[in-house]
Chains A and B, each alone.
Chain A
Amino acid sequence: MRLLRTIAAVAFALAAGAPLFGASSAADLPHVHVQLIAPDAQFHPGQNNAGLYFKLESGWHVYWKNPGDAGEPPHMKWSLPPGVTAGAILYPVPKRLPLGPLMDFGYEDEVVFPFQVNVSGNSAGGAPTLHAKVDWLVCRGSCIPEKTELEITRPIGQGGGTVEPDQQIWARLANRLPQAPPAGLKIGFVPTSSGFRLTVITGQRETEASFFPSKPDILSNPAPQAVTTTANGLTLDLKKDENLAANPKELTGLLLLSGNRAYELVVPSGAPKPAKAAPLESGPVANTSSVPTTSAPGSAAASPATPAKTSLVQAAFLAFLGGLILNLMPCVFPVLFIKGLSLLQSGAEEKHKLRTHGLVYTLGILVSFWILVGVLLGLRSAGSHLGWGFQFQSPVFLSLMAALLFFLGLSLAGQFEIGLTLTSAGGSLAAKQGYTGSFFTGVLAVIVATPCTAPFMGVALGYALSQTAIVTFAVFTALALGLAAPYLALTLQPAWTRILPRPGAWMEVLKQAVSVPIFGTVIWLAWVIANAYGAMLLAALLVSFLLLAIAGWFLGRWPAKRWATAVAVAFLAIVVVTSVVVPKQLAVSEQAPTQAGSSAGWQPWSADAVSRYQSQGRPVFVDFTASWCLSCQVNERVALGKPEVQKAFADANVVLMRADWTRYDDNITRTLNSFGRSGVPTYALYVPGESQPRLLPEVLTPGIVTNALAGLTHGSTQTAVSSSKQQ
C-alpha cells in the first residue's frame, strides 16, 4: 500500500511539474493504481514505446487477453490528436490463477501492457496529448469493474532523456512480453482421446512447460498440463474443452518453458515442424469484445448431417445381404467352423431337432443383435456418439473377449471338455444343452462379426442409427437374419445336410483343428490390445491366459469333480475381475496415435486439415480405419498400398489421410455419421468444389481406387505437374 501511494505521489508530482500537461496520467481506484507510461521524455517521429501500467493490491489480479474461465482483459479507447496513432496493447506472459475448480489467466502485483505510439514524420513540434478511456476488471474474491480516463503528453522532438519513474517501470516490466519462437524450435500437436499432445523440440531436455491458449473454449483451462521430458524437448498433454466440436487445425497460444522462455506461436497439427510466430493483432485497440465466440465449427457439427436417402425396405434388404456376406468375412471364420461342427453333430439327430437347432441359433443371433442395438441406442441417446464396432474400442471388452476365446480354444484343443461335445453324450439333458450351445454359438457369431463391417452393412447401419428406435431394430433384425440364414436354411432343408459327411472319429480331429483359427483370433485380439493400449496391458492379458490354462487343467485333470470345478471357477472369476480392473490402471489411453495413423505417406486425419487442403484445391483421400478391423487391413494391403494405386494418388496430387478409430474418437464418429456411415472401413475422396466427399466401396481393389481417381487427374493437371517436380 505504501509503495503504491509513493508511486502515485511521485506520478502526481511529476505530472504537476511537467510542462504543457493537461489531465492526469495516473489514477487510483479501489485495489488498483493505473497509469499511462512513456519512458522517453520526448516522442520521436516514428515508433515510440508506451504502456499501460497496473499496480495491484496483494491478491488482486487483472486479466490476460484470454482471461480463462472468467474475467475480462483491460480495454482502451483512444482519443488521439492528428498525426498520432496508437497500436494494440501487448500482453505480457500471464500466470495461471486457480480459483477452486476454475482457472483464470492474468497478472498479480504489477504489470505493464506495452503499446506503440506512432508519430508521423511531419508533425514535428508541439506536444500531443494522448487521451484514453480505460476499463478493466479487477478481481480477488469478488470482481470490480473499474474505468477511468488517462492522458499522457510528450513534446515531439529529437531530444534524449527519460522520464522517471516511467523509465524504471518500463525497464522492470516491459521485457516480460513473449517472444517469437527461435529458429530451432519445432512444435506440433496430435489429438488424443482427451485433448491434444504437444510435442516440443528445443534440442535439449525440457522439464517445465505450460501452454496458454489464445482463444477460449479450445482447452479445459483448469486441467493440469502433464509434462513428459524427452531427449530433445518435451511433450505436454492438454485436455480439450468438453464443448469443443471439431479439433482445430492449429493451436495458437503462448508456450512458457523453464527460465521464463515464453513464445507466442502457432502450433500446427501433426509432426513437429519449425514453429511459426503467432500473428499479432493489428490496428488500434478498440473496445474489442471477442467474447461471444459462437464457434462456427460447433454449429456446423451440431447441424444434423443428411444421411443418404435409403428407403427402409432397401436398407433392410441391404442389411440382410450384408448379414449373409458376414458369414464369409475373416472375423467370422472361426465361428463358421464352430457352426459347421455343431451341424455335423446334429446330423445324426432327427429332422425336427435340426430345425429347432437352427431356430435357436437364429434366436441367439437375434437376441444378441437386439441387446447390442439396445445398448447402442441407449448410449447414443446418452449423448455418446458411438458407432458400430465400439465395443472393440474398450480395453475391458478386448481383454474379456481374448480370454473367452483362449479358454474356448483350450477346450477345443482337448485340454478339457465343454459345450459342443457334451451334446452328443446323449440324453434329454444333452439335447437341452445342445440348444444352449446353439444359442451361444449364435451369440458368439455376432460378437466376433461386429468389427468387420461387411459391404452394404455400412449403409444399412448408418441409415438405421440415424433413424427411430423401431426402424433401427427392424434393420438390425434383418442383419441378424442374414447372418443366420445359411445355417438356418441348412437345418430347414434337411435334404441339403445329406451332402455333409457322416459323423465319425474325424470329428474329434476337426474339433481340435478348429482351435487353430480360434487361437489365431486370440493372437489378433492380443495384437490389437498391444497396439492400442501398450505392453503393460498385453502382459496382464498373458497372465490371465496362464490363469485360464490352470483353470482348464483342473477341469481336464479332475473332470466332473465339484471341487475342481470350484477351483476353475475361482480362477475364471479372477480373470474376469482383473480384466475389468486392470485396463483402467494400465492402459496407455492417452498414447500418441496408434500405428494405423502414422505410416509413411499418410497424415493423421483432422477435419480442419481436410478443409484446408480442399481450399488449396487439392483432393483429399481419407482412410477411416482401425487396427481391430481386418477388412481395413486387407484393403490397405491389397489396394491402397499397391504401387500403382500410390502412383495414381501421386499423379492426382491427392493428400492421403488416415483417420484411426482404433480407440474411440468423437470427431471421427461424427464425421462418419455425417456420411451416413457408422463404422469402418469407410473411404472418402474429397474433390475440391464438392461439398460432400465421394465414398468408395468397403471392399477395395486397385481398379476401384484408380478409377475413382481417374476423373481427377485431368482436372488438376497444373498441380500434378508441380507436385511431380518436387519429387
Chain B
Amino acid sequence: MRSCLHIVFLSASMLLFALIATSEQAQTARVNAPAPAFTATDSHGQAHSLDHYKGKYVVLEWHNQGCPFTRKHYESGNMQALQKQWTEKGVVWFTVISSAEGKEGYVTPSQENEYMAKMHASPTAALLDPEGKLGRLYNAKTTPNMFVIDPQGKLIYSGAIDDRPSTDLDDVKGADNFVSDALSAAMSGKPVANPHTRSYGCSVKYRD
C-alpha cells in the first residue's frame, strides 16, 4: 500500500528533475536576452548589483586607461560627454575595469578616483574587476566594449562604441555613436537598429 505513495512521489520528483534539467541554461550575455546578473565593487568600495537597477537603463563601458582606443574617447572628451549626457537622463553608467593586477590598465581604487577627477569623467561608478569575473560574464573582448541593458534587464546592445575603429582623435567627430543610437531608440520605444556590432580596440587584459 505504502509503495503506491512512494511511486507517486517518485514520479513527481522525476518530473521535477526533468524540468529542472531542461531549464538549465548557461548564463551568457546575448543581445535580446536577459543580461546576466552581477554584483561588483566600485572604486569607493561600494557594491553594485544589477538587480538593484531594474527599471533603469544601464550602460557598461569596458575601460583601460592605457589603451589608445580608450584614450581616443577620453582625450577627445567624447566618453565624458556621453556619461554626462546619459546619466542626466537617468541612465546608470558603469565604467568597468577588468585589467588584472600587473597588466595594462590595472588601477587601485585611489588611482581610478584620481584618474576620473583628472579626466572629469562622471560615470555612476567605476567597477573594479581585476579577477575578470564581470568581463568574462559579459564576454567583454575589447576596450572600449559597450553594453546597454534596458529597464526590464534585457541586453539591448553589445559591441563597439561607434563606427570608427581607429585611435585617431579626429575620428570622434562625425562618428555614428552606437550607444547613443541604442539608448535614443529604446527610450522612444523603437527597436535598436544594430543590436550587435563587432567591438574594436585593445584586448581586455584579463588574468592569464
- Please give the residue numbers on chain A whose beta carbons come within 8 Å of chain B beta carbons, in ascending order: 69-72, 99-102, 104, 137, 139, 141-145, 216-217, 242-243, 289, 291-295, 298-299, 302-303, 371, 375, 378-379, 381-384, 390-391, 394, 396-397, 400-401, 403-404, 407, 416, 418-419, 422, 429, 433, 436, 440, 443, 447, 555, 560, 562, 565, 568-569, 572-573, 576, 579-580
Contact = CB atoms under 8 A, between A and B. Distances in A.
Nearest to A433: B4
Contacts of B165: 72, 289, 291-292
B54 interface: no
Interface string B1-33: 111101110110111011101110100111111
What 5 A-B pairs have minimum CB-CB distances, sorted nearest first?
A: A383-B33, A100-B206, A70-B203, A294-B194, A397-B18
Given A72-B200, A381-B34, A383-B32, A292 B194 contact: yes
Given A72-B200, A104-B203, A418-B3, A379 B23 contact: yes
6 contacts: A139-B203, A291-B165, A384-B25, A396-B18, A555-B3, A569-B3
Interface residues of B, number: 62
Given A70-B141, A72-B165, A401 B202 contact: no
A526 B131 CA distance: 46
A102 B141 contact: yes
Interface stretch (B44-52, B73-81, B84-92, B156-164): B156-164
Contacts of B31: 243, 298, 302
B17 A396 contact: yes
Given A440-B8, A576-B10, A141 B32 contact: no
B6 A565 contact: yes
A579 B17 CA distance: 10
B163 A292 contact: yes
B194 A383 contact: no
A70 B201 CA distance: 6
A217 B34 contact: no
Contacts of B10: 569, 572-573, 576
Nearest to B31: A243
B21 A144 contact: no
B130 interface: no
Contacts of B198: 216-217, 291-293
Given A243-B31, A382-B34, A569-B6, A292 B1 contact: no
B201 to A, nearest CB: 6
Nearest to B6: A569
Contacts, number: 186
B66 interface: yes
A669 B176 CA distance: 33
Given A375-B22, A383-B33, A396-B22, 14 more contacts: A141-B104, A143-B68, A216-B198, A291-B163, A292-B176, A292-B197, A302-B195, A379-B23, A382-B25, A397-B19, A400-B17, A407-B7, A418-B3, A555-B3
Nearest to A98: B208
Contacts of A400: 14-15, 17-18
Contact of B203 (A99, A216, A447, A565): A99
Contacts of A104: 203
What does DSSP make chain B's interface, helix, strand, loop or mixed? Answer: loop
A674 to B, nearest CB: 14
B205 A141 contact: yes
Interface string B170-208: 000000101000000000000101111110111111111
Q: Which of A143, A375, A416, A562 has the most CB of B within 10 A?
A: A143
Nearest to A576: B14
A419 B6 CA distance: 11
Nearest to B196: A243
A217 B14 contact: no
A291 B18 contact: no
B90 to A, nearest CB: 24
B83 interface: no
A155 B29 CA distance: 57
Nearest to B195: A302
Contacts of B68: 143-145
Q: Counting chain A CB atoms within 10 Å of each CB, which of B18, B23, B139, B165 scores highest?
A: B18
Contact of A418 (B4, B30, B141, B197): B4
A443 B19 CA distance: 14
B41 interface: no
A8 B144 CA distance: 35
Contacts of B141: 69-70, 102
A293 B194 CA distance: 9
B15 A447 contact: yes
A242 B22 contact: no
Given A291-B163, A292-B194, A394 B104 contact: no
B196 A419 contact: no
Contacts of B136: 101
B34 A298 contact: no
A299 B195 contact: yes
B53 to A, nearest CB: 18
Contacts of A443: 15
Interface in B81-108: 103-104
B159 to A, nearest CB: 8
A299 B17 contact: no
Contacts of B22: 375, 379, 390-391, 394, 396-397
B133 to A, nearest CB: 11
Nearest to B192: A302
A357 B125 CA distance: 61
Contacts of A580: 17, 21
Contact of B160 (A102, A145, A291): A291
Nearest to B17: A580
Contact of A293 (B23, B197, B208): B197
Given A100-B208, A401-B18, A299 B67 contact: no
Contacts of B2: 560, 562, 565
A70 B142 contact: yes
A601 to B, nearest CB: 34
Contacts of A560: 1-3
Contact of B139 (A242, A292, A429): A242
B87 to A, nearest CB: 25
Given A101-B136, A433-B4, A295 B18 contact: no
B14 A404 contact: yes
A289 B17 contact: no
Contacts of B69: 143, 145
B19 A142 contact: no
B146 to A, nearest CB: 12
B132 interface: yes
A455 to B, nearest CB: 26
A68 to B, nearest CB: 9
A243 B158 contact: yes
Nearest to B158: A243
Nearest to B19: A375
A565 B32 CA distance: 50
B21 A396 contact: yes
A104 B66 CA distance: 19
B23 A375 contact: yes
B193 A299 contact: yes
Nearest to A577: B17
A391 B16 CA distance: 12
B189 to A, nearest CB: 13
A118 to B, nearest CB: 29
Contacts of B28: 242
B4 A100 contact: no
Contacts of B113: none
A100 B207 contact: yes
Nearest to A69: B141
A562 B6 CA distance: 11
Contact of B194 (A299, A371, A394, A404): A299
Given A217-B196, A396-B21, A143 B202 contact: yes
